[in-house]
Chains A and B, each alone.
Chain A
Amino acid sequence: MSGTKLIISIAKELLLLVRDRAGMALLFVMPAFLVIVITLIQDKVTTTSVNVLFVDIDRGEVGAEIRGLFKRIDTIHLIETLNGEQLSADQAQVLVAASKFQFAVVLPQGLSEATSEAARLTATKNLFPDRREPAGPAVPEILVWFDPTVHGSFRAAVRSALDQVVVGVETRLLVEKSLALLPEKLTADLPPALLQAMPRPVLNAKDLLPQLFGNMTLIPVREQFSTAMGFIKQPTAVQQNVPAWAIFGIFFIVVPLAGSLIKERESGTLMRLKVFPVSYLTIIAGKILAYALVCVIQFAVILLAGMFILPLFGLAAFEPGGQPLPFALMMLSVIAAACGYGVLLGTVGRTYEQIAVFAPVSIVIGAALGGIMVPIYALPDFMRPICLLSPLYWGQSGFYDLLLRAGDLRSILPEAASLLAFGMVTTMAAYLFSTKKSRRP
């Protein structure tokens, strides 16, 4: 491969790219725009609370308690009035059916009374198994309306919050009713002498309830992020999304790169160059290096957008970390893989139309499998081994090692090596495909 011819090829590619100003602007702006939009969306999805219509027909203590417990959950925001008027169950149903709201919780009439009686009966049955009590009223169901367009994970989150609230109310009621019956139980079961020696609060156990439930949290939970390198800062949506979607954006270089190869083939310039004393590898390498340079600039634009534009929207600034060498290695490895894939598609693809459809779709599939759209741990078991084959996964995993798991050069080597190998294999496959085909009738 001649160095001079390679440099001339790179210069020609860059000149062609620069002349297409609109194309260049799109190449640089669109990936950065994508990262900003996706990060904003992801951040808001994880931090914004879900609006839930709350209709309390019961108007009793259970409703008040459920309302109170819901208000402790940050991700749920209860709406009880609309335009200053109390919501009815029918209104809530209509609003959810019209997709104006996604959830509605309706507490039916008599809920407090029936639940309280059910708790009392359960406590009585537990403390006085031989006592016969008439059956209480059936506890009416709490009704939850869901918009059919709501995704399963959101529905599960709301349902989980409701279950948590209901369990809290049930527990409180059972304890309250049991404590109320405790003096009677003690009087019945203990000898009078022992009973007289007991402290007064035990005999009025019901009074203990506010003390018992004054602090509901018995077992504290602490979040900490597990990494091989010890404790790290709390990861933000920005820190997770910027590298992931940057990889996705960078991979879209496949479309113009493959497209330029196909256009050259269609115009006859590629065929003409085959009559020149220059190897096809030089031509491919010239293209790859020129587009790789574009990718480096794209990456820089995306990172700068993460560092300086996202904070303007109230998000945390992206922190590229303090390891420029491993970061650069990961970036170049991703670019090598994307360019190799682009050259292969441009060589194997017959028409620009084929590539214009196949390339983006294949990248989206790679991103979906690679955990960029949905985390791999959320995918079904049978799909996970397939996910490990996606170069976008390797890229994301390497950047996460660096930016979220406090990894170093050694920890990203497997991912970087996989990406570089993918780039080399696809480039060589393109070269072999082209040379094999070129002189064969």
Chain B
Amino acid sequence: MTDNHSLLIAGDLFLTYAESDAPALNGISLTLCPGELCGLIGPNGAGKTTLLSVFTTLLRPQRGSLSIAGIDALDNPAAVRGKIGFVPQDLALYDRLTGLENLGYFGRMYGLPRQQLKEKAKYYLEMFGLYDKRNRQVAAYSGGMKRRINLIIGIIHDPGLLFLDEPTVGIDAQSRHMILEKLAALNHEQMAMIYTSHYLEEVQSLCRRVVIIDEGRIIAEDTPQNLIAQAEGCGSLAEFFLKKTGEQLRE
């Protein structure tokens, strides 16, 4: 779908890093509709993080176009920033602040009024099971709790479009289950998401559409079921992924 109803329209994105000869993004075009949950997968070095960096206005590609919520994101990145949410792979938190103080700081940086922020913080802390621990310094949180607060920061302002860069890496099955469950619920409430992960079973169960990129290009794009059905003898997205990208190790 590439019409005006799309929340994100990326056209022919091309980006090469200064220290590299090979392009990290080599003509990627992608659209995302409101409320859509799209899985973005690929081997290491395929260009996933670079693509997310372009979508989140951290990087400007050398070529191509990008529109987010009807705004030209390449020419006017500042206007886009309040409309998107980003959950980085790093636990980008202040360890010496409490969970609530972290939310307070990042929420105010999004421009949320104090009262609205208070309500949102309570809502999401309860949703992710952190309300009782809200006044504890993040340094004392477990890995799963840190992942959850890291995620809440990305959604505290109720963005229409959320980018998630491996939000469940390094946590236990319970925390992962909770995060996926809540993401599905948020998506149900029309929050569009682009989700990257190396846990392909997560992507298969969570995403209605999957985009596989390799060497800066989209090499497959469809629903998980259709992708699996495309290749003979594949019973899962992981098997399809290996068949499509090869089994040799990537750097």
A-B complex is real:
yes
Which of A4, A12, A20, A279 meets B105, CB within 8 Å? A12
Distance in Å from the Cβ of B14 to the closest Cβ of chain A? 10
**Is B177 an interface position by the 8 A CB rule?**
no
A-side interface size class: 20 to 34
Q: Which candidate, B33-41, B74-82, B121-129, is the interface stretch facing chain A?
A: B74-82
User: A277 and B111 in contact (CB under 8 A), knowing A272-B86, A439-B57?
Assistant: yes
Task: Name the CB-closest residue of A to B95.
Answer: A267
Task: Name the CB-closest residue of A to B50.
Answer: A441
**Is B24 an interface position by the 8 A CB rule?**
yes
CA–CA, A12 and B102, complex, Å: 9
CA–CA, A16 and B77, complex, Å: 29
**Is A275 an interface position by the 8 A CB rule?**
yes
Chain B residue numbers with a CB within 8 Å of A439 are 57-60, 77
Distance in Å from the Cβ of B147 to the closest Cβ of chain A? 13
**Is B130 an interface position by the 8 A CB rule?**
no
Mask of B35-75 contacts with A, CB within 8 angstroms, 1/0: 00000000000000010000011111110000000000000
Q: In the complex, are the beta carbons of A16 and B96 less than 8 A apart?
A: yes
**Is A374 an interface position by the 8 A CB rule?**
no
CA–CA, A271 and B97, complex, Å: 18
Q: In the complex, are the beta carbons of A272 and B18 less than 8 A apart?
A: no
Q: In the complex, are the beta carbons of B92 and A276 less than 8 A apart?
A: no
Q: In the complex, are the beta carbons of B81 and A12 less than 8 A apart?
A: no
Q: In the complex, are the beta carbons of B57 and A267 less than 8 A apart?
A: no
Task: Name the CB-closest residue of B to A272.
Answer: B92
CA–CA, A279 and B90, complex, Å: 21
Q: Tell me which residues from 411 to 441 in chain A have a Cβ below 8 Å from any Cβ of chain B.
A: 438-441
CA–CA, A15 and B101, complex, Å: 10
Chain B residue numbers with a CB within 8 Å of A16 are 94, 96-97
Q: In the complex, are the beta carbons of A5 and B62 less than 8 A apart?
A: no
**Is B91 an interface position by the 8 A CB rule?**
yes
Chain A residue numbers with a CB within 8 Å of B108 are 4-5, 8
Task: Name the CB-closest residue of B to A19.
Answer: B96
Which of B18, B59, B92 meets A269, CB within 8 Å? B92
User: A12 and B97 in contact (CB under 8 A), knowing A4-B108, A271-B58, A272-B86?
Assistant: yes
User: A277 and B82 in contact (CB under 8 A), knowing A12-B105, A16-B97?
Assistant: yes
**Is A208 an interface position by the 8 A CB rule?**
no
Chain A residue numbers with a CB within 8 Å of B93 are 267, 269
Q: Tell me which residues from 1 to 45 in chain A have a Cβ below 8 Å from any Cβ of chain B.
A: 2, 4-5, 8-9, 12, 15-16, 19-20
CA–CA, A4 and B60, complex, Å: 29
**Is A278 an interface position by the 8 A CB rule?**
yes
User: A267 and B90 in contact (CB under 8 A), knowing A8-B105, A19-B96, A441-B59?
Assistant: yes
Interface of B (DSSP majority class): loop
**Is B173 an interface position by the 8 A CB rule?**
no
**Is A268 an interface position by the 8 A CB rule?**
yes
Output the residue of A272, A274, A438, A439 with the most chain B CB within 10 A.
A272
**Is A273 an interface position by the 8 A CB rule?**
yes
Q: In the complex, are the beta carbons of A274 and B58 less than 8 A apart?
A: yes
CA–CA, A346 and B88, complex, Å: 22
Task: Name the CB-closest residue of B to A7.
Answer: B108
Q: In the complex, are the beta carbons of B78 and A277 less than 8 A apart?
A: yes
Distance in Å from the Cβ of B143 to the closest Cβ of chain A? 15
Q: Tell me which residues from 90 to 131 in chain A have a Cβ below 8 Å from any Cβ of chain B.
A: none
Output the residue of A8, A273, A276, A438 with the most chain B CB within 10 A.
A276
Which of A4, A8, A441 meets B15, CB within 8 Å? A441
**Size of interface on B: residues with Cβ below 8 Å to A:** 37
CB contacts between A and B, total, < 8 Å: 86
Distance in Å from the Cβ of B168 to the closest Cβ of chain A? 17
Q: In the complex, are the beta carbons of A276 and B58 less than 8 A apart?
A: no
Distance in Å from the Cβ of A354 to the closest Cβ of chain B? 20
Chain A residue numbers with a CB within 8 Å of B110 are 276-277
Q: In the complex, are the beta carbons of B105 and A271 less than 8 A apart?
A: no
Which of B17, B58, B94, B95 meets A438, CB within 8 Å? B58
Q: In the complex, are the beta carbons of B137 and A275 less than 8 A apart?
A: no
Task: Name the CB-closest residue of A to B114.
Answer: A4
**Is B194 an interface position by the 8 A CB rule?**
no
Q: In the complex, are the beta carbons of A441 and B61 less than 8 A apart?
A: yes
Chain A residue numbers with a CB within 8 Å of B18 are 440-441
Chain A residue numbers with a CB within 8 Å of B81 are 275-277
Chain A residue numbers with a CB within 8 Å of B92 are 267-269, 271-272
Distance in Å from the Cβ of A206 to the closest Cβ of chain B? 87
Q: In the complex, are the beta carbons of A273 and B91 less than 8 A apart?
A: no
Q: In the complex, are the beta carbons of A15 and B24 less than 8 A apart?
A: no
**Is B16 an interface position by the 8 A CB rule?**
yes
Distance in Å from the Cβ of B48 to the closest Cβ of chain A? 15
**Is B109 an interface position by the 8 A CB rule?**
yes
Distance in Å from the Cβ of B3 to the closest Cβ of chain A? 27
Distance in Å from the Cβ of A21 to the closest Cβ of chain B? 10
Chain B residue numbers with a CB within 8 Å of A438 are 58
Chain B residue numbers with a CB within 8 Å of A19 are 96-97, 137
User: A441 and B96 in contact (CB under 8 A), knowing A275-B86, A277-B81?
Assistant: no
Q: In the complex, are the beta carbons of B109 and A8 less than 8 A apart?
A: yes
User: A5 and B96 in contact (CB under 8 A), knowing A275-B84, A439-B59?
Assistant: no
**Is B141 an interface position by the 8 A CB rule?**
no
Chain A residue numbers with a CB within 8 Å of B111 are 2, 5, 277
Which of B82, B97, B106 meets A15, CB within 8 Å? B97
Chain B residue numbers with a CB within 8 Å of A5 are 108-109, 111
Q: In the complex, are the beta carbons of B88 and A272 less than 8 A apart?
A: yes
By a beta-carbon cutoff of 8 Å, the part of chain A in contact with chain B is 2, 4-5, 8-9, 12, 15-16, 19-20, 267-269, 271-279, 438-441
Closest 6 CB pairs of A and B: A268-B90, A268-B92, A277-B82, A272-B92, A19-B96, A439-B60
By a beta-carbon cutoff of 8 Å, the part of chain B in contact with chain A is 15-18, 24, 50, 56-62, 77-78, 81-82, 84, 86, 88, 90-97, 101, 105-106, 108-111, 137, 153
13 A-B pairs (CB sep. < 8 Å): A4-B108, A5-B108, A12-B97, A268-B91, A269-B94, A272-B106, A275-B84, A438-B58, A439-B59, A440-B18, A441-B18, A441-B60, A441-B61
Extra A-B contacts (17), CB below 8 Å, given A267-B90, A276-B109, A441-B62: A2-B111, A8-B109, A12-B94, A12-B105, A267-B95, A268-B90, A268-B91, A269-B94, A272-B88, A272-B92, A272-B153, A273-B109, A274-B57, A277-B81, A277-B82, A279-B78, A439-B59
